[in-house]
Amino acid sequence: MPPPSVFFLWAPLVWDDHISHAIFFDGTQGEALVREGITAPLYRSEAEIPGVIDGLDRRMATARHRVTYVRNTRLAQSAEIDLVDIDGHTTTIALDPILKFQMKGLGYGHPQWGQGMWKGELETGGESFDPSTLDPLARENVHVQQVVRARQGGQTGIGVLEQICFGPYRPAGFSEFLDGAKG
């Protein structure tokens, strides 16, 4: 029986005049389990936000992703997201990571202070770590968010690329539970 696996990407992005969002869950072979993309207006103030659904959001028919990984890690070196609308028109967004955030800092996958772990009514704790010294393939370090610069045609934006990949994932060449990128 192959080891369990999960592949997840999430990319909320902010542009000058709109937002875009994509989320992906894939199976081991890269088959689409969840593909969602959307664009919507970016309102300049809270007062501009309509009190009802304004119909200006555009839900995509599907979305696709391509990730290039940093050698010997499961960390994105760069990524591209395609938002495919109902008519089949594809908009490609290029993502270039700027900064990495370890999700274990919020408890995700942390071996002692995991998110949602009950430690007692008054239990507190903390930890400091230098992200550059962490083993990128340790189970608790694989789940990350990266602040990314986004490019779409002549526009630039900013956002986040959240990623987690445990187990084999054929499109990236991962064959073990936590092996790193070969290329």
The pLDDT tens digits for 120-130 are: 888 887 778 88
Identify the band that residue 23 occupies on the pLDDT scale cut at 50, 70 and 90. Answer: very high
User: What's residue 1's pLDDT?
Assistant: 67
The ranges assigned to domains in the chain are: 6-43+57-112+128-172
Contact yes or no for 149/98 (Cβ under 8 A) = yes
Distance CA 39, CA 57 (A): 6
Tell me the mean pLDDT in the region 57-72. 97
Higher pLDDT, 2 or 111: 111
Residue 167 pLDDT more than 70? yes
**Cα angle: 139, vertex 141, 142; to 5 degrees:** 75
**Beta-bridge partners for 169:** 174
User: What's residue 30's pLDDT?
Assistant: 95
The pLDDT tens digits for 136-157 are: 999 889 999 999 999 999 999 9
Q: Tokens at residue 5, please?
A: 């696996």
User: What's residue 11's pLDDT?
Assistant: 98
pTM metric for this prediction: 0.89
CA 30 to chain centre: 16
State which fold the 6-43+57-112+128-172 domain adopts. AttH-like fold (2.40.370)
Higher pLDDT, 90 or 131: 90
Distance CA 22, CA 82 (A): 9
Distance CA 183, CA 179 (A): 12
What Å distances lie between residue 102 and 14, 16, 95, 117, CA to CA?
A: 21, 28, 18, 18
In percent, how much of the chain has pLDDT > 70?
A: 95
The pLDDT tens digits for 32-54 are: 999 999 999 999 899 988 888 88
One-letter identity of residue 115: Q
What Å distances lie between residue 138 and 102, 165, 179, CA to CA?
A: 12, 12, 10
H/E segment holding residue 35? strand 32-41
User: What's residue 125's pLDDT?
Assistant: 77
Identify the band that residue 84 occupies on the pLDDT scale cut at 50, 70 and 90. Answer: very high
CA 93 to chain centre: 14
Residue 2 pLDDT more than 70? no
Residue 107 pLDDT more than 70? no
